[in-house]
Amino acid sequence: MYRLLDHPRKEIRLLVVQPGKENELLRAAFDYALLDFPERPQYETISYVWGDCTERSDVDLGGTIFSIPLSSVTALQCIRHPDRERVVWIDAVCINQTDDGERGRQVAMMADIYMCGSCNLAVLSGHKLDRGRLAASAIAKIREHVFEKFGSAEQFDVLWMNAVPGKLEELRTDITQDSVDAVCGLLDATWFRRLWVMQEVALPSRTIVHFEGAQIDLLHIRQMISCLSLDPYQDRDVCEKIVNVTNLANLQMDELLDTALFFDVTEKRDTVYGMLGLFWRARDLPELPLPLVPDYTKDPSAVLRDATRFAIESQLYMGVLPPDEILTVKGLALDAVYALTRKNHDVKPDQQWRDFLDSAVALSTQPPYASPTSLRDLESTLVAGVHADAHGDTPLETLLAFIHDEQDAAQPTAYISDVYSYQHHRCFFMTDTGRMDLGPD
């Protein structure tokens, strides 16, 4: 069924999906294309949630009945045209999943595969229900408000990206509760929590989301989320359900590994492999560095270890250390942990965020460890010592005033960002000898 691919010439398999009705047996055939050929092939990529791969369904591949994951069949049926062929690339079928060598080589080409496709088709749900229609209608209405208020969606994007969202004038969207529920249903889809989605969305020139019978441009969804965050009558939590993945293509490896903590993966190797397309594109490399080359025969912990070591050696700082792993070094100083805070998981400056910082202040300033420099030491510890002198004289006091909603308190945006980057998924602790640090609980 699978013939060998010409890896040096960046050959990929494509799936030519035959026309058919919704519940008809899926019929398709393989085609082959070279990505380094001057005339690039015409195809679309498919982004979806794999789910349970033990759930299988049959497809007709060139006259042979072949078993593939049920989730793949559902996605293909959703995008299948009723009256004409559709040429697509879908990972579970177009990569020989039983060949670890091919899997690694094709994963290393993910950036090429998604960037060369004409469009990315994100399949959230293929069922034709009313929520898809309502969500599409709500998003269209919100875009109308954007055009009326700002002149164009592009102008709104400029204002949004260059200003503190809370300082922009509030924009009421006036959509019905049913429409809000439909939009929430869209944003609650498992697809938005998949790690692989980051590069599958950031790399293609365009992504069309298929949701319960509706087709919606992902750019419009992102603009809708921005608008909802300005609406005082809507739930702000809705706006936290998607990461603005269009801005992830320029991150360093340590930032990508840290971002991966927020997303779901099927296996631990994907914490690294699911980000390689973004890293390759951002660095404009002729090939991936050897420590990052995908190898599905490699132990998952070794994959994360090598990626972490690469990030530390290439960027010369330790902020990349995974919160749930242990760094082994010579000359390790051992000390007993005296007290620690709860691990902080939350993004927003809400009660959990306040409790974490208040606990850290209390632990570091109580006897017998209180000293004139306790708060200054804590300021540096909360950002792991990185750029500690770049935030002014009293960034921690300013931050505490801000999160406790003190009147006229300034928003220390840069310090908030750095503190969150280094303490998220970590706890603050004090040792018996008075050392303070961040680490796993």
- As a whole number, the mean pLDDT across the chain is 81
Whether the Cβ atoms of residue 190 and residue 234 lie closer than 8 Å to each other: no
pLDDT at position 260, please? 72
Q: pLDDT (tens digit, 9 = 90+) per residue, 35-69?
A: 987 788 999 999 999 888 889 999 999 999 999 99
Kindly report the backbone phi and psi dihedral angles of residue 59, in degrees, each rounded to the nearest multiple of 5, phi listed first.
Answer: -135, 155
User: 34: pLDDT confidence band, cut at 50, 70 and 90?
Assistant: very high
Range 302-328 average pLDDT = 70
Q: How would you write 313-338 as a 3-class SS string?
A: HHHCCCCCCCCCCCCCCCCCCCCCEE
pLDDT at position 241, please? 42
User: 316: pLDDT confidence band, cut at 50, 70 and 90?
Assistant: low
pLDDT at position 326, please? 47
Taking CA atoms, 21 is separated from 78, 80, 364, in Å, by 10, 8, 66
CA dist 47 and 122 (Å) reads: 5
pLDDT value at 126 more than 90 = no
Whether the Cβ atoms of residue 12 and residue 35 lie closer than 8 Å to each other: yes
CA dist 149 and 144 (Å) reads: 9
Range 152-157 average pLDDT = 74
Q: pLDDT (tens digit, 9 = 90+) per residue, 186-231?
A: 888 888 888 888 888 888 889 999 999 899 998 888 878 777 766 7
Surface-to-core class of residue 385, CB atoms within 10 Å of its CB (0-12 exposed, 13-18 middle, 19+ buried): middle
DSSP 57-83: EEEEETTEEEEEEHHHHHHHHHH--SS
User: 329: pLDDT confidence band, cut at 50, 70 and 90?
Assistant: low
User: 360: pLDDT confidence band, cut at 50, 70 and 90?
Assistant: confident
CA dist 441 and 433 (Å) reads: 19
CA dist 23 and 108 (Å) reads: 35
Kindly report the backbone phi and psi dihedral angles of residue 332, in degrees, each rounded to the nearest multiple of 5, phi listed first.
Answer: -70, 130
pLDDT value at 95 more than 60 = yes
Sorted by where each begins, the domain ranges of the chain are 7-118, 130-246, 249-315, 337-439
Q: What share of the chain has pLDDT > 90, as a percent?
A: 31
